[in-house]
Structure 1
Amino acid sequence: MTSNEIWFDCRHRGDGGPLVIVPHVDGTPLTALVDAYENAAGMRPAGDAYGGLIPEFFRFGPMQDHFLGVSTGAMGPKTPVLGCECGEWGCWPLMARITATADLVTWDAFEQPHRKTRDYVAFGPFQFDRHHYDDALQALSAVIDSAADDTSA
């Protein structure tokens, strides 16, 4: 089985606003992948509904733990991988089950918790080589740490 590639785009929202994290799968933003899926499935509302996660707006814990599915205790068994385009993850999240083994990290069982009837069975699963996934998380943490250093200076 071939694995998907992942990297985390992390940039300031607007002009110097908070950091926004958008996962990219195989070079495409997850926001675009889910928009295309929902539009093709005839789901409404759909399109431009999702945005990245903004750690400053919610205490996700370390992003390395979050994107390994570790920091989800208060959120249930699934992890928000996207939030609402408004910036609040709880408003319109895309949730996924994140399973990590020594060799793979899998994102599957996607859901939109505010629309329980939506069927995401054909969306994903995405499987990432664990070594490459850890490298992407390390790069994300470096960007977050650098941004924190910039704001505390």
Structure 2
Amino acid sequence: MPTQPLLRKVRFEIRPWGQGPDPARELLPYADNVSLVDLVSGFEHAAGHDVPGAYAGIVLDHFNFGDLAAYLTGRSDSAYRSRQGVIALLGCDCGEVGCWPLEAQVVTTEDSVMWRGFSQPYRPQRDYGDFGPFVFRRDQYERAVREAMAASLPPSPR
């Protein structure tokens, strides 16, 4: 009998990316308070992949993802999406999502949101079958997305 994947807690941190007086904004996913960059880096190192962990979060100011909530739930009309429900959860550490993305399928059910089917499109021979799936309670995931959306808004003038 197959076991159910462990339910995790998700959050999306909005943090400064880059140098200078007006840095860009990076959206970095976390599962159980561990960044997805750290999780995939550990997996890639253990698997012996070349160029392990050369990722960063999605740099919001460099990537036109459309509606953030739709994007993070795999319902985006973003031009990036190559397959139904597949998004880049991470981009390259250079700040360009198309340079070195970590992609995953986002599957939403009545009760959960799952990231599965991870891939690195520039290394299609890599096997990420043992990475994930990451399953989150839908209400907690949607709350984390709303918090990310609020944190990504520019500050309102006083």
Q: TM-score, structure 1 length as denominator?
A: 0.92
Equivalent of 2:130 in 97, 101, 122: 122
Aligned partner of residue 7 in structure 2, secondary structure: coil
The DSSP-based 3-state class of the residue aligned with 1:12 is strand
What number of residue pairs does the alignment pair up?
A: 149
Q: Does 2:20 correspond to 1:12?
A: no
Q: Which residue of structure 2 aligns with residue 28 of structure 1?
A: 34
Residue 91 (1) aligns with residue 91 (2): no
CA distance in 2, matches of 1:58, 1:84: 12
Residue 68 (structure 1) aligns with: 73
Alpha-carbon distance change, 73 to 53 in structure 1, aligned in 2, over 3 angstroms: closer
The 5 A counterparts of 1:43-62 are: 43-47=49-53, 49-62=54-67
- Unaligned runs of 5+ residues in structure 1 are none
Q: Which runs of 4+ in 1 moved over 6 A?
A: none
Letter in 2 for 1:54: V
> For 1:104-123, what aligned pairs fall within 5 Å after superposition?
104-123=112-131
Return the offset for 1:72: 5.3
Aligned mates of 1:17, 1:68 — CA distance in 2: 27
Q: Give the aligned residue type for 1:132.
A: Q
User: Residue 12 of structure 2 aligns to which amino acid in structure 1?
Assistant: F
Which residue of structure 2 aligns with residue 136 of structure 1? 144
Give the aligned residue type for 2:108: A
Equivalent pair of 1:72/1:79 in contact (CA under 8 Å): no
Whether the aligned pair in 1 keeps the contact of 2:73 and 2:106 (CA below 8 Å) is yes
Aligned partners of 1:12 and 1:18 also within 8 Å: yes
Distance in 1 (alpha carbons) for counterparts of 2:15 and 2:60 = 12
Contact kept, 8 Å, 2:24 with 2:61, in 1: the verdict is yes
CA distance in 2, matches of 1:11, 1:50: 15
Q: Report the Cα offset of residue 149 of structure 1.
A: 2.9
1:55-96 CA distance string (max 9 Å, x none)? 211210121111101115532121000000000000000000
Which protein has the bigger helix share? 1
